[in-house]
Amino acid sequence: MSKIERREPLFHIVKNDAISFGKSLGIRIIAIFAGLIVVGILGMILIGENPFSIYSAMFDGAFIDVWTLLQNTALLLMFGIAVIPAFQMKFWNLGANGQVLVGCLASIACMKFLPVKFPQIQNWLLLLIMLVASIIVSCIWSVVPAIFKAFFNTNETLFTLMMNYIALTTVDYFVFTWDKTGSGTLGIVNLLNGQKGWMPDLGNKYLLPIIISIIMTAFMFVYMKFTKHGFEVALVGESVNTAKYVGINVKKVIIRTLLLGGIFCGILGFLYASCLSHTVNQQIGGLGFTAILVAWLANFDSVAMLFTSFFVVFLETGSKFISTKFQLNSTDYSNIVVGIIFFFIIACEFFIRFKIQINHQHQKTEKSEINAEKEGN
Amino acid sequence: MKKILCAILAIAMILSLVACGSGETTSTSDSKLLDIKVGLITLHDDSSTYDKNFIDGMYRALENLGMKKEQLVLYTGVDESEDCYNKAKECVNQGCQVVFADSFGHEDYMIQAATEFKDVKFCHATGTKAHTVNLDNFSNAFASIYEGRYAAGIAAGMKLNEMIEAGKITEDKALMGYVGAYTYAEVMSGYSSFYLGAKSVCPSVKMNVKFTGSWYDYDKEKAAAESLISSGCVLISQHADSYGAPEACEAAGVPNVSYNGSTKDVGPNTYIVSSKIDWAPYYEYMINCTVEGKTIDKDWTGTIKSGSVKLLEINDAVAAKGTQDAIDKAIEEFKAGTLKVFDTSTFTVGGKKLESYKADVDSDEKFEKDTEVVKDGVFEESKYRSAPYFDVEIDGITLLDRNYG
């Protein structure tokens, strides 16, 4: 009997559902600090700089241009908002990059050719057509995998991922067709041509994406928390069978939710075309994968994503500035910094979601056995 | 718990403030050169031979001008998107009076920044629009790298001759391969001049070209070089920015003529020579103009004579005997103006001599061939704008594909 007790493990890993917000935040902050310490030590070894100069470079770099920082946060947030409804449903949509890119392509096509065909076109009408075109094409990109998932149970991870590659080559095809010099670069469309199809500035060119991202976040918060649609999405995510049992048309929910994601990606694609890059190439957007991290860290909560996306953009911008500040001529160390801190943040989730329980019974048993042995002597 | 966290945060903040204070540089010198800041925006980092050439050139220029390294604000890995505009703006925010960007796709974002920050000068390599947008603070720059390519082509031709003499190949098998990025004038001008250089010493030479559809793609460049080698090419050169082609050559033991910088370290047994643009003379000119308040030329073209085009050290272990002398002779002739790369008597197009050619010099939406560029039996490359416009497909060169690999 005593032998069996000896085999009892020293600790158990127990799921920890009831962790308080403060404690989980504390664990994350400790993880970030631990990450920063490792970053500092590696910085001393790899680039020979004082860790505190590295931290200050990160901080300075992120805030060199506050508007860019906020705009990049808004963009990442919008990518996140576009993927969370599908993620809530456990539909692993990895195709946000492609959906945004084709949306941008559609907008650019309108922006490039409509003013040539119809020189009198009003800018507001052109913008409206660009928006609609972007949303339609993005929706096609998001709904096709949804239909296959709903009707044939195709693996959506691979499907949406592959759709990204189709988007990239489609963009290349059109750029090569449109640009007759063969340089493979479209350049800013209508830069010196009356800026047709460009969104008005609102006094500050960074403001519009920021405002739209806030509206999107508010919409998604309400949609997921207070509407029947949101409830259905959550239920399908919890259990498809339960959803079916209560009479939810799962196929419809999958397609409708991906359609919503497509609309959001379409709006983003339109924003890239009309107020950010004003061009299309393979480097446009590309935040879809980072957005998954942001969404996951925020536990798929749209409001929490405000903070996680700010943090990620802060970290990435700041890290990139390390190579500028210390003239490293390479972005390698910056990438290491981002990687290490992400690693620590993801690893610390273990301590938030699970609890390590020391097996006191085990210790007691051991002690009592030792005592018994002593007494025996 | 909270107290401990507060304490850690407070200590970190105080220390970071201290670090901020000590990190700042104060300019005490009266010299105007020491007062300015220069911005450099590159598409990739120094793992790309193309961008490394720009970065190294900038440090040389700063040294030549007696400036400090800290006067440079360097952003690497900047996409050809609004990211470029944002970084240009950040350079301005950090006090740069002149900002330079190195990639073709950066051009429009630099123009966008130039229209907004009129007090700052924006310069751009390889671009084509400065003379058409006509802004006082936006300029294009390039160099007559076709002279360097021609000289490197001579080295390639001599290597082929050596192979023929040694009986390794017959004259009709003197086939070179070329890995190009895009079917774009800059690349076409490069491979045509390289071919003409080789042809000047090895008349039977032919060349096959494969395109990768990307300026920097290690895998595609390597695969393109491998495919050219397996189809019978006995010497490879490239206009693409990674180490893909040189490494494929080293693995297959096929001689390689490189670009932008020496690739001897990855190809000690195959690297022959490399040509490159030395950007330091332009940077120095650009910085001097900024300091003196002068306008920078809208289209600046450096030459082999002005020190902007360089041939790097020859790898004697691979190059044919007498290569150095032949290259030196060509360089002297370029300097004297007696040798013209695109002399229309040295090549044919569709079996005929090129008597007249209109090039698309003014970049616009119309893509019209707008300027006559053949004069007195010479295709006048880089005369009407700095970026190359030689996009003629000459005889002897076969394009195996277009744009894509």
Give the structural domain span for B260: 145-277+309-337+384-399
Locate B348 and state its tokens.
């044919």
For residue B367, being part of any structural domain is answered with no
Judge if B220 and B261 occupy the same domain: yes
For residue B363, being part of any structural domain is answered with no
B4 touches chain A (CB under 8 A): no
Which pairing describes strands B309-311 and B271-277: parallel, antiparallel, or unpaired? antiparallel
Judge if B81 and B37 occupy the same domain: yes
Secondary structure E strands in B53-168:
72-75, 96-101, 121-125, 138-143
Query: Cα(A160)–Cα(A206) distance, rounded to whole angstroms?
Result: 30
Q: What is the mean pLDDT of residues B374-403?
A: 93
* Structural domain total, chain B: 2
Which CATH number belongs to the domain containing residue B61 in this structure? 3.40.50.2300
Query: In terms of CA atoms, which chain B residue is nearest residue A23?
Result: B1
Q: Do B360 and A181 touch (CB under 8 A)?
A: yes
Which residues of chain A have a CB within 8 Å of the CB of B8? 33
Q: What percentage of chain B carries pLDDT values higher than 70?
A: 92
Judge if B135 and B250 occupy the same domain: no
Judge if B138 and B196 occupy the same domain: no
For residue B49, being part of any structural domain is answered with yes
Chain B residues 150-189 with CB within 8 Å of chain A: 181-186
Judge if B64 and B158 occupy the same domain: no
B90 touches chain A (CB under 8 A): yes
Largest distance between two CA atoms of chain A: 105
Query: Cα(A99)–Cα(B322) distance, rounded to whole angstroms?
Result: 58
Query: In terms of CA atoms, which chain B residue is nearest residue A61?
Result: B90
Q: Are the CB atoms for B177 and B294 separated by under 8 Å? A: no
A183 touches chain B (CB under 8 A): yes
Dihedral sign from CA coordinates of A48, A53, A57, A58? positive
Question: Residue B402's pLDDT is what?
Answer: 81
Secondary structure E strands in B285-330:
299-302, 309-311
How far, CA to CA in Å, does B225 sit from each of A11, A98, A313? 58, 30, 39
Place of tokens 């025996």: A376
Which residues of chain B have a CB within 8 Å of the CB of A180? 367
Dihedral sign from CA coordinates of B284, B257, B80, A279? positive
For residue B101, being part of any structural domain is answered with yes
Query: Cα(B153)–Cα(B200) distance, rounded to whole angstroms?
Result: 9
DSSP count for chain A of H helices, then E strands: 15, 2
Q: What is the mean pLDDT of residues B340-345?
A: 96
Q: Are the CB atoms for B273 and B311 separated by under 8 Å? A: yes
B302: pLDDT strictly greater than 70: yes
* Residues written for chain A: 377
**Distance (Å) from the alpha carbon of A324 to chain B's nearest alpha carbon:** 5
For residue B374, being part of any structural domain is answered with no
Phi, psi of B319 (to 5 degrees): -65, 150
Judge if B205 and B264 occupy the same domain: yes
Question: Residue B7's pLDDT is what?
Answer: 52
What band does B28 get if pLDDT is binned at 50, 70 and 90?
A: very low
Judge if B121 and B158 occupy the same domain: no
Q: Are the CB atoms for B110 and B154 separated by under 8 Å? A: no
For residue B199, being part of any structural domain is answered with yes
Judge if B264 and B228 occupy the same domain: yes
For residue B227, being part of any structural domain is answered with yes
Secondary structure E strands in B148-246:
175-180, 206-211, 235-239
B125: pLDDT strictly greater than 70: yes
Q: Do A329 and B74 touch (CB under 8 A)?
A: yes
Phi, psi of B302 (to 5 degrees): -80, 155
Q: Are the CB atoms for A269 and A101 separated by under 8 Å? A: yes
Q: Do A188 and B108 touch (CB under 8 A)?
A: yes
The pTM is what? 0.86
Judge if B186 and B284 occupy the same domain: no
Q: Are the CB atoms for B173 and B234 separated by under 8 Å? A: yes
pLDDT digits (tens, 9 = 90+) for B73-104: 999 999 999 999 999 999 999 999 999 999 99
Question: Residue A374's pLDDT is what?
Answer: 56
Buried b (16+ CB within 10 A) or exposed e, B369-399: eebebbeeeebbbbbbbbbbbbbbebebbeb
**Distance (Å) from the alpha carbon of B19 to chain A's nearest alpha carbon:** 5
Judge if B318 and B193 occupy the same domain: yes
A97 touches chain B (CB under 8 A): no
B46 vs A181, A281, A330: nearest CB: A330
HSE of B330 in the Cβ direction (CA atoms, 13 Å)? 27
Query: Cα(B252)–Cα(B293) distance, rounded to whole angstroms?
Result: 53
Question: Residue B272's pLDDT is what?
Answer: 96
Judge if B222 and B268 occupy the same domain: yes
Judge if B43 and B113 occupy the same domain: yes
What is the pLDDT tens value at each position of chain A, 377 positions in all? Answer: 445 556 677 888 888 777 888 888 899 999 999 999 999 999 999 999 999 999 999 999 999 999 999 999 999 999 999 999 999 999 999 999 999 999 999 999 999 999 999 999 999 999 999 999 999 999 999 999 999 999 999 999 999 999 999 999 999 999 989 988 888 889 999 988 788 999 998 888 899 999 999 999 999 999 999 999 999 999 999 999 999 999 999 999 999 999 999 999 999 999 999 999 999 999 999 999 999 999 988 989 999 999 999 999 999 999 999 999 999 999 999 999 999 999 999 999 888 888 888 876 655 555 555 565 555 54
**ipTM of the complex, rounded to two decimals:** 0.86
Question: Residue A183's pLDDT is what?
Answer: 83
- Pick the range with the lowest mean pLDDT from B109-123, B197-211, B235-249: B235-249
If you average pLDDT over each of B44-58, B326-340, B390-404, which comes out highest?
A: B326-340
B17: pLDDT strictly greater than 50: no
B405: pLDDT strictly greater than 50: no
A52 vs B15, B80, B94: nearest CB: B15
What class, spelled out in words, does domain A68-313 have in CATH?
mainly alpha
**Distance (Å) from the alpha carbon of A185 to chain B's nearest alpha carbon:** 6
Indicate left, alpha or beta for A327 from its phi (over 0: left) and psi (-120 to 50: alpha).
left
Chain B residues 185-224 with CB within 8 Å of chain A: 185-186, 213-214
For residue B20, being part of any structural domain is answered with no
Dihedral sign from CA coordinates of A262, A264, A267, A272? negative
Q: Which residue did the predictor score with more confidence, A129 or B19?
A: A129
Chain A residues 255-294 with CB within 8 Å of chain B: 276-279, 281, 283-284
Which residues of chain A have a CB within 8 Å of the CB of B45? 323, 329-332
B81 touches chain A (CB under 8 A): yes
